[in-house]
Amino acid sequence: MKAKLLHDAGKIAEGEVVEITSSAGTNDTRTDEDVGGKSVTIAPVYAVTDTEGHAEEVDTRDLEVLP
């Protein structure tokens, strides 16, 4: 499944199209710096990779799933 990043994720830049590869746990802490700000809702985190081979773990709230 492909998704677009809504903010930078380490070496993967905002707007990059990434492949969602696997579940990586949950994110139970959000700060003002995160897209959408603070949240008390726990959300899944997924491992994603870009075409350059960079891998990051990204909160699903920071991904836009592409068709």
Tens digits of per-residue pLDDT, 10-51?
A: 999 999 999 999 999 888 887 777 777 777 788 899 999 999
Is 90 exceeded by the pLDDT of residue 57? yes
Position 15 scores a pLDDT of 97
Q: CA dihedral in degrees (25, 44, 40, 35; nearest 10)?
A: 120
Per-position b or e across 14-45, b if 16+ CB within 10 A of its CB: eebebebeeebeebeebeeebeeeebeeeeeb
Position 41 scores a pLDDT of 80
Position 62 scores a pLDDT of 93
Q: Name the 3-class secondary structure at 61.
A: helix
More confident site: 33 or 3: 3
Position 1 scores a pLDDT of 93
Where exactly are the structural domains of the chain?
Answer: 2-65
